[in-house]
Amino acid sequence: MVDDVLHLNDVVLRRGDFALRADASLVAGKVTALMGSSGSGKSTLLAAIAGFEAPVSGRITLDGRDITDLAPGDRPVSILFQDGNLFPHLTVAQNVGLGLRPDLRLSKQQVSERDQVLARVGLGGMPDRLPRDLSGGQQSRAALARALVSGRSWLLLDEAFSALGPALRREMLALVRDMAESRGMSVLMVTHDPRDARQIADFTGLIHEGHLSDPRPTSPLFADPPPELLEYLGDSRSD
């Protein structure tokens, strides 16, 4: 899966006054964090990669394939939102099963695959529960399990765990990292918290003045922050 590079070729997104230009390559098999001040268009960019927003110009290619005009469901991409990742009237097993087949007519093999992943994210004992009977962390685990079974090569996290407390969030990020590594998945996560990036991201991209260029390795970036990162970090640099 090393070839699954995500190329943003001069992608321009515009909504009213807001404009974002992304010209970047995201490395496959790694975790990339996407940072930027609020309103900088992090989530809009993720939505464009997932297929919910059409770029004004530019192409998005994944593994050499142009996905710019594909429907969201046809892209090799899973996305987790801040909330509303689960259908509240479907059980955990059903919600996860949707990642394998949207009509839920699972084969025996798919059922066992689903149950394995449920066990791996720590939900083995509760396939028949409804989301409302799960804690916030368990709901995130169920949504992650669905992304894992779907077999799509990229996982997009749109501040997916920001509703969780700090300890739970770190735990989820660690789980994401483990799972992505063991399955060779690539992760692109939007976050406003530099600690998230430093915890799990191999690369970090910064949207500055409406522009995103190639993400850089996280540790050197934070060790010797360029002016735009310093500006973004402000007081939180000491964190």
Partner 1 sequence: MTGIRIGQTAGAAVLLALFVPLLALAIRADAWAGLTARDWAAIRFTLWQAAASAALSVLLGIPVARALARRRFLGRDAVVLLLGAPFILPVIVAILGLVAVFGRSGPVSAALAWFGLEPLSIYGPQGVLLAHVFFNLPLATRLILQGWLAIPGERLRLAASLGFGPSDTFRLLEWPMLRGVVPGIFVVIFLICTTSFAVALALGGGPRSTTVELAIYQAFRFDFDLSRVAVLGAAQLALAGVAAALSLRLTVPSAFGGGLDRAIPRWDSAGLGLRIQDAAAIGLACAFLLAPLALMAAQGLPALPDMPPSIWGAALRSLVVALAAALVTTGLALALSMAAIRAGGGWVEIAGTLSVAASPLVLGVGLYILLLPLADPVALALPITAAVNTLFALPFALRAILPAMRELDRDFGRLASSLDLSGWPWLRLVALPRLRRPAGFAAGLTAALSAGDLGVITLFGAPDGATLPLVMYQLMGSYRLEEAKAAALVLVVLSIGLFWLFEHGGRRASPE
* CB-nearer residue toward partner 1: 156 or 206: 156
Q: Least distance in Å: CB of 52 to partner 1?
A: 6
What residues form DSSP beta bridges with 154? 77, 186
- Decide whether 46 or 207 has the Cβ nearer to partner 1: 46
Nearer to partner 1, 154 or 203 (CB): 154
In whole angstroms, the minimum distance from the beta carbon of 113 to partner 1 comes to: 16
Residues 6+ apart with CB under 8 A from 13: 19, 20, 21, 22, 41, 44, 45, 48, 53, 55, 56
Which residue, 102 or 227, has its beta carbon nearer to partner 1? 102
Closest CB 158 distance from partner 1, rounded Å:
10
CB of 73 to partner 1, least distance (A): 3
Tokens of 170: 């770190």
Q: Could you tell me the sign of the dihedral formed by the alpha carbons of 35, 163, 80, 217, in that order?
A: positive
What is the crossing angle of helices 108-120 and 136-149, to 10°? 140
Which of 35, 67, 27, 33 minimizes the C-alpha distance to 48? 67
Query: What is the nearest approach in angstroms of partner 1 to the Cβ of residue 150?
Result: 8
**30 vs 146, which CB is nearer to partner 1?**
146
Which residues would be at the binding site for partner 1 (CB under 8 A)?
50-52, 71-74, 77-79, 81, 84-85, 87-90, 94, 98-99, 102-104, 132, 146, 150
Query: Hey, what amino acid is at 28?
Result: A
CA–CA dist 170, 165 (Å, integer)? 9
